[in-house]
């Protein structure tokens, strides 16, 4: 789907439903994230990662250059760091088996909030939006197209050790101040600029409702994990998703 001259949205399977993700291809040589099957045979000149998770770094080793926020670089470069941030051991391999090109490699240039990349006349502003991961970023392309990464407007997720609920909420508020023509989540459908603020407010309300319910259950002396507060029911493998939910509950309790 062509978004603008030389800028294409490539949907992951089922509109990027995990374990797939939507990607953006710019001028056939710069790829933003790598979780769509239709990009797995490409050989892009460069890849820009929104963050370190597997469905976003899955094309890194085939590119000549990789760019990412400095706080996520180590998890993109090192499998041990990657596993450590999940808080899992070898079980994390279950997430990696579907990606034919996945490999851990050096990040050639690290980015910070407010940086601008210019690629064949296309300007990409880096917007640091931590919470989902420490270095999660959104990208504003030519001031018109906002790539949201995993601030996906569907299911707020902060189940890694470097996640932070307060930062997640602050990042949502930051994005509400931007007025793009369209916004593209890594998972889900394109959203018009006119509806973005309202969608972000609904998304934020999910986090706040979880927080309220978690604290209510704890006040009653109950463990919130497994009570449908975050996952209605645990997907398979259940022990891994229960692990993620336990981290997410802990992140809420760390929030002041």
* pLDDT at residue 143 greater than cutoff 80: yes
* pTM assigned to the model: 0.97
In this structure, is residue 202 part of a structural domain? Answer: no
Structure confidence at residue 95 (pLDDT): 81
Domain shared by 145 and 181, yes or no? yes
Structure confidence at residue 93 (pLDDT): 87
Given a contact cutoff of 8 angstroms between Cβ atoms, the answer to whether 130 and 52 are in contact is: no
Domain shared by 84 and 29, yes or no? yes
Mind listing the pLDDT tens digit for each residue in 195-224? 999 999 999 999 999 999 999 999 999 999
**What is the dihedral sign for C-alpha 157, 161, 164, 165?**
positive
Mind listing the pLDDT tens digit for each residue in 51-104? 999 999 999 999 999 999 999 999 999 999 999 999 988 888 888 989 999 999
Domain shared by 52 and 121, yes or no? yes
Mind listing the pLDDT tens digit for each residue in 224-236? 999 999 999 999 8
Average pLDDT over residues 175-182: 97
Q: How confident is the model at residue 7 (pLDDT cuts 50, 70, 90)?
A: very high
Domain shared by 73 and 39, yes or no? yes
Domain shared by 186 and 79, yes or no? yes
Domain shared by 40 and 100, yes or no? yes
Structure confidence at residue 92 (pLDDT): 86
Strands 182-185 and 30-32: unpaired
Domain shared by 139 and 101, yes or no? yes
* pLDDT at residue 147 greater than cutoff 90: yes
How many domains would you assign to the chain?
A: 2
Domain shared by 152 and 238, yes or no? no
Range of the domain at 226: 208-251
Average pLDDT over residues 149-153: 98
In this structure, is residue 154 part of a structural domain? Answer: yes
Q: Report how far residue 214's alpha carbon sits from residue 209's, in angstroms, rounded to the nearest whole number.
A: 9
| Residue (of 37, 20, 24) closest to 183 by Cα position | 24
Domain shared by 152 and 25, yes or no? yes
- The one-character DSSP state at 64 is S
Domain shared by 53 and 151, yes or no? yes
- Token pair listed for 196: 């973005």
The position carrying tokens 């990349």 is 117
Angle, in degrees to the nearest 10, between helices 193-219 and 238-254: 90
Domain shared by 183 and 121, yes or no? yes
Residue where a domain stops, chosen among 146, 167, 194 = 194
Query: Which residues, in sequence order, are bridge partners of residue 128?
Result: 137
Average pLDDT over residues 34-56: 96
Average pLDDT over residues 109-124: 97
| Residue (of 29, 15, 57, 59) closest to 41 by Cα position | 59
Query: Which residues, in sequence order, are bridge partners of residue 149?
Result: 185
Other C-beta atoms lying within 10 Å of the C-beta of residue 239 = 10
Q: Report how far residue 21's alpha carbon sits from residue 19's, in angstroms, rounded to the nearest whole number.
A: 7
Mind listing the pLDDT tens digit for each residue in 11-35? 999 999 999 999 999 999 999 999 9
């Amino acid at each position: 789907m062509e978004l603008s001259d030389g800028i294409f949205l490539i949907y992951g399977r089922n509109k990027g439903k995990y374990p797939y993700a939507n990607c953006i291809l710019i001028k056939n040589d710069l790829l933003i994230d790598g979780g769509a099957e239709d990009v797995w045979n490409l050989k892009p000149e460069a890849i820009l990662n929104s963050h370190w998770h597997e469905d976003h770094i899955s094309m890194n080793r085939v590119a000549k250059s990789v760019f990412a926020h400095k706080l996520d670089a180590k998890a993109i470069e090192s499998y041990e760091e990657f596993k450590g941030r999940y808080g899992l051991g070898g079980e994390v391999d279950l997430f990696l088996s579907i990606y034919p090109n996945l490999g851990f490699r050096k990040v050639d240039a690290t980015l910070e909030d407010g940086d601008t990349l210019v690629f064949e006349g296309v300007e990409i502003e880096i917007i640091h939006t931590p919470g989902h991961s420490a270095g999660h970023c959104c990208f504003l392309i030519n001031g018109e197209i906002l790539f949201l990464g995993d601030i996906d407007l569907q299911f707020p997720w902060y189940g890694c050790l470097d996640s932070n609920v307060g930062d997640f909420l602050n990042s949502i508020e930051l994005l509400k101040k931007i007025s793009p023509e369209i916004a593209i989540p890594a998972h889900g459908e394109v959203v018009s600029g006119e509806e973005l603020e309202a969608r972000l407010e609904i998304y934020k309300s999910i986090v706040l409702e979880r927080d309220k319910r978690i604290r209510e259950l704890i006040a009653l002396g109950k463990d919130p994990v497994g009570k449908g507060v975050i996952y209605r029911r645990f997907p398979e493998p259940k022990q891994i998703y229960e692990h993620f939910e336990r981290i997410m509950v802990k992140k809420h309790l760390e929030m002041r």
